[in-house]
Amino acid sequence: MEAKQWTAVAGSVVGDLHIKRNLPNQDAIAFHRLPGSSSALVMAVSDGHGSEKCPRSDIGSALAVKTAVKVFMDSWSLMKSRLDGSEAVDRPSILASIERHIRKDITKQLIDNWISAVDAHSASVPFQAEQAQANRLLAYGATLTIVFLCEHFCVCMRLGDCEVLIVDRDSKVSRIAPRNKVQVGEDTDSLCMPNADKRFSVYFQGSDDLSLDSNQLYLICSDGYEKAFESNAGFEQSAIDFAKLVSSGKGRETIEQEMETWLREYSNYSGDDVSVGLLFGEPQLAESAVPEEAVDILELSNQSAETDAAFKEDCFANEDKLTRHENFNPTEMNEKP
Protein backbone atom coordinates (compact mmCIF):
# COMPACT_ATOMS: atom_id res chain seq x y z
CA MET A 1 0.00 0.00 0.00
CA GLU A 2 1.32 3.43 -0.93
CA ALA A 3 2.16 5.58 2.10
CA LYS A 4 -0.22 8.40 2.78
CA GLN A 5 1.17 11.82 1.99
CA TRP A 6 0.47 14.23 4.82
CA THR A 7 0.00 17.93 4.20
CA ALA A 8 0.22 20.69 6.82
CA VAL A 9 -1.51 24.04 7.06
CA ALA A 10 -1.21 26.20 10.17
CA GLY A 11 -1.80 29.68 11.44
CA SER A 12 -1.90 31.94 14.48
CA VAL A 13 -3.17 35.40 15.41
CA VAL A 14 -2.71 37.61 18.43
CA GLY A 15 -5.86 37.77 20.55
CA ASP A 16 -8.18 40.76 20.66
CA LEU A 17 -7.57 41.30 24.37
CA HIS A 18 -3.81 41.21 23.86
CA ILE A 19 -4.09 43.77 21.07
CA LYS A 20 -6.07 46.11 23.34
CA ARG A 21 -3.46 45.71 26.09
CA ASN A 22 -0.55 46.05 23.65
CA LEU A 23 0.69 42.57 24.55
CA PRO A 24 2.40 40.08 22.23
CA ASN A 25 0.89 36.84 21.04
CA GLN A 26 1.84 34.10 23.50
CA ASP A 27 1.31 31.28 21.00
CA ALA A 28 3.79 29.68 18.63
CA ILE A 29 3.24 26.97 16.03
CA ALA A 30 5.62 25.15 13.72
CA PHE A 31 5.66 22.21 11.34
CA HIS A 32 8.42 20.35 9.54
CA ARG A 33 8.65 17.68 6.85
CA LEU A 34 11.39 15.35 8.01
CA PRO A 35 14.40 14.61 5.80
CA GLY A 36 14.45 11.41 3.79
CA SER A 37 10.70 10.88 3.86
CA SER A 38 7.94 12.55 1.90
CA SER A 39 5.30 11.31 4.33
CA ALA A 40 6.72 12.18 7.77
CA LEU A 41 5.62 15.45 9.36
CA VAL A 42 5.89 16.91 12.83
CA MET A 43 3.77 19.81 14.07
CA ALA A 44 3.99 21.55 17.44
CA VAL A 45 1.93 24.27 19.11
CA SER A 46 2.74 26.04 22.35
CA ASP A 47 0.80 28.55 24.43
CA GLY A 48 2.76 30.84 26.74
CA HIS A 49 1.06 31.50 30.07
CA GLY A 50 1.12 35.28 29.66
CA SER A 51 0.76 36.17 33.35
CA GLU A 52 2.80 38.71 35.33
CA LYS A 53 4.85 35.81 36.71
CA CYS A 54 5.65 34.71 33.15
CA PRO A 55 6.92 37.89 31.42
CA ARG A 56 8.87 35.93 28.79
CA SER A 57 6.32 33.25 28.02
CA ASP A 58 6.06 34.37 24.38
CA ILE A 59 9.75 33.51 24.09
CA GLY A 60 9.12 30.29 26.03
CA SER A 61 6.49 29.15 23.53
CA ALA A 62 8.72 29.97 20.55
CA LEU A 63 11.54 27.95 22.12
CA ALA A 64 9.12 25.09 22.82
CA VAL A 65 8.03 24.55 19.21
CA LYS A 66 11.60 24.92 17.93
CA THR A 67 12.74 22.35 20.51
CA ALA A 68 9.96 19.93 19.54
CA VAL A 69 10.84 20.07 15.84
CA LYS A 70 14.54 19.60 16.57
CA VAL A 71 14.01 16.63 18.90
CA PHE A 72 11.97 14.76 16.31
CA MET A 73 14.41 15.69 13.55
CA ASP A 74 17.23 14.17 15.59
CA SER A 75 15.26 11.04 16.49
CA TRP A 76 13.62 10.32 13.15
CA SER A 77 16.60 8.90 11.25
CA LEU A 78 17.20 6.18 13.83
CA MET A 79 13.53 5.27 14.11
CA LYS A 80 13.17 5.20 10.33
CA SER A 81 16.23 3.01 9.81
CA ARG A 82 14.97 0.47 12.34
CA LEU A 83 11.55 0.31 10.70
CA ASP A 84 12.73 0.32 7.09
CA GLY A 85 15.17 -2.50 7.71
CA SER A 86 12.71 -4.70 9.58
CA GLU A 87 10.67 -7.68 8.48
CA ALA A 88 6.91 -7.43 8.76
CA VAL A 89 6.89 -10.03 11.52
CA ASP A 90 9.26 -7.86 13.61
CA ARG A 91 7.36 -4.63 13.07
CA PRO A 92 5.06 -4.84 16.14
CA SER A 93 7.97 -5.28 18.56
CA ILE A 94 9.92 -2.44 16.94
CA LEU A 95 6.90 -0.15 17.15
CA ALA A 96 6.50 -1.09 20.80
CA SER A 97 10.12 -0.17 21.49
CA ILE A 98 9.68 3.15 19.66
CA GLU A 99 6.60 3.90 21.75
CA ARG A 100 8.58 3.21 24.95
CA HIS A 101 11.37 5.44 23.67
CA ILE A 102 8.93 8.28 23.03
CA ARG A 103 7.21 7.96 26.40
CA LYS A 104 10.42 7.67 28.42
CA ASP A 105 13.23 9.35 26.49
CA ILE A 106 11.74 11.86 24.06
CA THR A 107 9.53 13.41 26.73
CA LYS A 108 12.66 13.97 28.82
CA GLN A 109 14.61 15.31 25.84
CA LEU A 110 11.86 17.83 25.15
CA ILE A 111 12.02 19.21 28.69
CA ASP A 112 15.83 19.13 28.95
CA ASN A 113 16.30 20.85 25.59
CA TRP A 114 13.70 23.49 26.39
CA ILE A 115 15.38 24.26 29.71
CA SER A 116 18.75 24.52 27.93
CA ALA A 117 17.24 26.96 25.43
CA VAL A 118 15.72 29.00 28.26
CA ASP A 119 19.08 29.11 30.05
CA ALA A 120 20.80 30.27 26.87
CA HIS A 121 18.29 33.04 26.34
CA SER A 122 18.30 34.20 29.97
CA ALA A 123 22.10 34.30 29.85
CA SER A 124 22.05 36.49 26.73
CA VAL A 125 19.20 38.65 28.03
CA PRO A 126 19.76 38.70 31.82
CA PHE A 127 16.98 39.37 34.30
CA GLN A 128 17.28 42.59 36.26
CA ALA A 129 16.21 41.03 39.54
CA GLU A 130 17.96 38.08 41.17
CA GLN A 131 14.57 36.67 42.15
CA ALA A 132 13.49 36.63 38.52
CA GLN A 133 16.62 34.69 37.59
CA ALA A 134 15.85 32.17 40.32
CA ASN A 135 12.38 31.70 38.82
CA ARG A 136 13.56 31.79 35.23
CA LEU A 137 11.66 28.69 34.10
CA LEU A 138 8.38 30.16 35.35
CA ALA A 139 9.17 33.39 33.52
CA TYR A 140 9.22 31.42 30.23
CA GLY A 141 6.31 29.13 31.19
CA ALA A 142 4.41 27.55 28.30
CA THR A 143 2.51 24.45 27.25
CA LEU A 144 3.47 22.09 24.42
CA THR A 145 1.46 19.80 22.16
CA ILE A 146 3.00 17.76 19.32
CA VAL A 147 1.70 15.55 16.52
CA PHE A 148 4.09 13.37 14.53
CA LEU A 149 2.86 11.35 11.54
CA CYS A 150 4.67 8.89 9.27
CA GLU A 151 3.86 5.78 7.25
CA HIS A 152 4.60 3.53 10.22
CA PHE A 153 2.91 5.25 13.17
CA CYS A 154 1.48 8.44 14.59
CA VAL A 155 2.08 9.94 18.01
CA CYS A 156 0.31 12.80 19.75
CA MET A 157 1.82 14.35 22.87
CA ARG A 158 0.17 16.96 25.06
CA LEU A 159 1.43 18.92 28.04
CA GLY A 160 -1.06 21.56 29.10
CA ASP A 161 -4.34 22.80 27.70
CA CYS A 162 -3.78 22.77 23.94
CA GLU A 163 -5.86 20.14 22.14
CA VAL A 164 -5.62 17.53 19.40
CA LEU A 165 -8.80 16.39 17.64
CA ILE A 166 -8.63 13.40 15.26
CA VAL A 167 -11.30 13.01 12.59
CA ASP A 168 -11.67 9.61 10.91
CA ARG A 169 -13.30 8.85 7.57
CA ASP A 170 -16.65 8.27 9.28
CA SER A 171 -16.49 11.82 10.70
CA LYS A 172 -16.00 10.47 14.20
CA VAL A 173 -13.96 12.79 16.41
CA SER A 174 -11.65 11.71 19.22
CA ARG A 175 -9.26 13.51 21.57
CA ILE A 176 -5.85 12.23 22.52
CA ALA A 177 -6.60 12.49 26.25
CA PRO A 178 -9.41 13.63 28.56
CA ARG A 179 -9.23 16.89 30.42
CA ASN A 180 -7.11 16.87 33.57
CA LYS A 181 -9.70 16.58 36.32
CA VAL A 182 -7.34 18.08 38.92
CA GLN A 183 -6.83 21.26 36.92
CA VAL A 184 -7.92 24.30 38.93
CA GLY A 185 -9.13 27.47 37.21
CA GLU A 186 -6.76 28.62 34.48
CA ASP A 187 -3.82 26.63 35.88
CA THR A 188 -2.48 23.96 33.58
CA ASP A 189 0.47 21.61 33.23
CA SER A 190 3.53 23.43 31.98
CA LEU A 191 7.06 22.94 30.69
CA CYS A 192 8.29 24.89 33.72
CA MET A 193 6.88 22.45 36.30
CA PRO A 194 8.98 19.90 38.20
CA ASN A 195 8.93 16.48 36.51
CA ALA A 196 7.23 18.00 33.49
CA ASP A 197 8.32 15.08 31.32
CA LYS A 198 6.07 12.80 33.37
CA ARG A 199 3.06 15.07 32.81
CA PHE A 200 2.75 14.46 29.07
CA SER A 201 -0.32 12.66 27.78
CA VAL A 202 0.93 10.39 24.97
CA TYR A 203 -1.20 8.71 22.30
CA PHE A 204 0.59 6.21 20.06
CA GLN A 205 -0.90 4.33 17.11
CA GLY A 206 1.06 1.85 14.99
CA SER A 207 0.59 1.03 11.32
CA ASP A 208 -0.76 -2.44 12.16
CA ASP A 209 -3.80 -0.70 13.61
CA LEU A 210 -6.16 -0.45 10.64
CA SER A 211 -7.76 2.69 12.09
CA LEU A 212 -4.53 4.61 11.50
CA ASP A 213 -5.11 4.76 7.76
CA SER A 214 -8.73 5.79 8.34
CA ASN A 215 -7.68 8.95 10.14
CA GLN A 216 -8.58 11.79 7.82
CA LEU A 217 -7.49 14.91 9.68
CA TYR A 218 -5.65 16.02 12.81
CA LEU A 219 -6.52 19.43 14.27
CA ILE A 220 -4.00 20.86 16.74
CA CYS A 221 -4.94 24.08 18.51
CA SER A 222 -4.23 26.37 21.42
CA ASP A 223 -6.98 26.79 23.99
CA GLY A 224 -7.91 30.17 22.52
CA TYR A 225 -9.53 28.31 19.64
CA GLU A 226 -11.56 25.98 21.85
CA LYS A 227 -12.71 28.90 24.02
CA ALA A 228 -14.41 30.43 20.96
CA PHE A 229 -17.07 27.71 21.06
CA GLU A 230 -19.97 27.58 23.49
CA SER A 231 -19.99 23.79 23.55
CA ASN A 232 -17.75 20.81 23.00
CA ALA A 233 -20.08 19.73 20.20
CA GLY A 234 -19.40 22.95 18.30
CA PHE A 235 -15.67 22.58 18.84
CA GLU A 236 -15.65 19.03 17.49
CA GLN A 237 -17.94 19.97 14.61
CA SER A 238 -15.38 22.55 13.48
CA ALA A 239 -12.84 19.74 13.02
CA ILE A 240 -15.38 17.75 10.99
CA ASP A 241 -16.04 20.81 8.83
CA PHE A 242 -12.31 21.23 8.22
CA ALA A 243 -12.10 17.56 7.20
CA LYS A 244 -14.97 17.98 4.76
CA LEU A 245 -13.39 21.08 3.30
CA VAL A 246 -9.95 19.54 2.74
CA SER A 247 -11.56 16.56 1.01
CA SER A 248 -13.07 18.88 -1.58
CA GLY A 249 -11.19 19.82 -4.71
CA LYS A 250 -9.98 23.22 -3.51
CA GLY A 251 -10.09 22.65 0.24
CA ARG A 252 -6.43 23.23 0.94
CA GLU A 253 -6.30 26.31 -1.27
CA THR A 254 -9.36 27.79 0.46
CA ILE A 255 -7.94 27.18 3.94
CA GLU A 256 -4.59 28.75 3.09
CA GLN A 257 -6.31 31.83 1.66
CA GLU A 258 -8.86 32.30 4.45
CA MET A 259 -6.89 31.09 7.46
CA GLU A 260 -6.09 34.47 8.98
CA THR A 261 -9.61 35.82 8.50
CA TRP A 262 -11.13 32.79 10.17
CA LEU A 263 -8.75 32.90 13.12
CA ARG A 264 -9.39 36.57 13.74
CA GLU A 265 -13.11 35.78 13.84
CA TYR A 266 -12.47 33.14 16.47
CA SER A 267 -10.42 35.58 18.50
CA ASN A 268 -13.37 37.97 18.47
CA TYR A 269 -15.24 35.35 20.49
CA SER A 270 -12.50 34.09 22.83
CA GLY A 271 -10.42 37.28 23.12
CA ASP A 272 -7.38 35.00 23.41
CA ASP A 273 -4.54 34.26 21.01
CA VAL A 274 -5.72 31.62 18.54
CA SER A 275 -3.52 29.03 16.83
CA VAL A 276 -4.65 26.10 14.69
CA GLY A 277 -2.70 23.51 12.73
CA LEU A 278 -4.19 20.96 10.35
CA LEU A 279 -2.58 17.72 9.17
CA PHE A 280 -4.46 15.82 6.49
CA GLY A 281 -3.79 13.16 3.91
CA GLU A 282 -3.51 13.68 0.18
CA PRO A 283 -3.24 11.07 -2.57
CA GLN A 284 0.18 12.38 -3.58
CA LEU A 285 2.51 15.15 -2.50
CA ALA A 286 1.41 18.39 -4.08
CA GLU A 287 4.02 20.53 -5.80
CA SER A 288 3.27 23.36 -3.42
CA ALA A 289 3.77 21.24 -0.33
CA VAL A 290 6.48 22.07 2.14
CA PRO A 291 9.85 21.03 0.71
CA GLU A 292 12.19 18.75 2.62
CA GLU A 293 14.12 20.41 5.43
CA ALA A 294 11.91 23.50 5.39
CA VAL A 295 10.23 24.53 8.62
CA ASP A 296 7.28 26.87 8.93
CA ILE A 297 7.49 28.87 12.16
CA LEU A 298 4.34 30.88 12.71
CA GLU A 299 5.47 33.42 15.26
CA LEU A 300 2.93 35.70 16.80
CA SER A 301 4.84 38.24 18.83
CA ASN A 302 6.01 41.35 17.08
CA GLN A 303 5.32 43.53 20.12
CA SER A 304 7.93 42.11 22.52
CA ALA A 305 10.70 44.10 24.13
CA GLU A 306 13.53 44.92 21.74
CA THR A 307 15.84 42.33 23.24
CA ASP A 308 13.27 39.56 22.90
CA ALA A 309 12.38 40.63 19.39
CA ALA A 310 16.06 40.58 18.46
CA PHE A 311 16.40 37.11 19.95
CA LYS A 312 13.44 35.79 17.96
CA GLU A 313 14.86 37.30 14.80
CA ASP A 314 18.16 35.57 15.44
CA CYS A 315 16.45 32.34 16.49
CA PHE A 316 14.23 31.93 13.46
CA ALA A 317 15.73 33.83 10.54
CA ASN A 318 18.06 31.78 8.34
CA GLU A 319 18.84 29.23 11.05
CA ASP A 320 18.75 25.51 10.23
CA LYS A 321 16.93 26.40 7.02
CA LEU A 322 14.00 27.87 8.91
CA THR A 323 11.46 29.79 6.88
CA ARG A 324 9.71 32.51 8.81
CA HIS A 325 6.14 33.62 8.12
CA GLU A 326 4.53 36.60 9.79
CA ASN A 327 0.90 36.38 10.88
CA PHE A 328 -0.12 33.46 8.66
CA ASN A 329 -3.31 32.17 10.13
CA PRO A 330 -7.35 29.37 10.30
CA THR A 331 -11.36 29.46 10.03
CA GLU A 332 -14.94 28.88 10.62
CA MET A 333 -17.24 26.72 8.63
CA ASN A 334 -19.88 25.94 11.22
CA GLU A 335 -22.20 28.10 13.29
CA LYS A 336 -20.52 30.95 15.10
CA PRO A 337 -19.73 30.05 18.69
SS3 323: strand
Tens of pLDDT, residue by residue over 212-221, are: 667 889 999 9
Nearest to 158 by CA among 183, 187, 182, 190: 190
Question: 229 pLDDT band (50/70/90 cuts)?
Answer: very high
Of residues 117 and 324, more confidence is placed in 117
Query: Residue 308 pLDDT more than 70?
Result: no
Query: Residue 317 pLDDT more than 80?
Result: no
SS3 255: helix
Percent of residues, the chain, with pLDDT higher than 70: 75
Of residues 148 and 333, more confidence is placed in 148
Q: For the chain, report the end-to-end CA distance as a whole number of angstroms.
A: 41
For residues 233-262, give the mean pLDDT: 89
Of these ranges, 34-48, 89-103, 125-139, the one predicted with the greatest mean pLDDT is 89-103
Query: Residue 149 pLDDT more than 70?
Result: yes
One DSSP character per residue, 56-108 reads THHHHHHHHHHHHHHHHHHHHHHHHHHHHTS-GGGHHHHHHHHHHHIIIIIHH
Tens of pLDDT, residue by residue over 11-48, are: 999 988 888 888 899 999 999 998 766 678 999 999 99
Query: Residue 105 pLDDT more than 50?
Result: yes
- Rounded to a whole number of angstroms, the CA Rg of the chain reads 19
- Helices in 90-216 by DSSP H: which ranges? 91-101, 107-124, 130-134, 136-139, 211-214
Query: Residue 234 pLDDT more than 70?
Result: yes
The predicted model scores a pTM of 0.82
**CA 84 to the chain's CA centroid:** 27
Of these ranges, 73-77, 113-117, 228-232, 281-285, the one predicted with the greatest mean pLDDT is 113-117
Burial 293-302 (b: 16+ CB within 10 A, else e): eebbbbbbbe
Domains and CATH numbers, the chain: 5-326 (3.60.40.10)
Question: 130 pLDDT band (50/70/90 cuts)?
Answer: low
| pLDDT for residue 335 | 33
Of residues 269 and 209, more confidence is placed in 269
Burial class of residue 68, CB neighbours in 10 A (0-12, 13-18, 19+): buried
Query: Residue 247 pLDDT more than 60?
Result: yes
274 in Cβ contact with 225 (< 8 Å): yes
| pLDDT for residue 174 | 92
For residues 161-179, give the mean pLDDT: 87
Torsion over CA: 194, 198, 203, 207 (sign): positive
Lowest-pLDDT range of 62-71, 93-102, 326-335? 326-335
Cβ neighbours of 142 (radius 10 Å): 31
- Helices in 247-305 by DSSP H: which ranges? 251-270
Mean residue pLDDT across the chain: 79
| pLDDT for residue 295 | 42
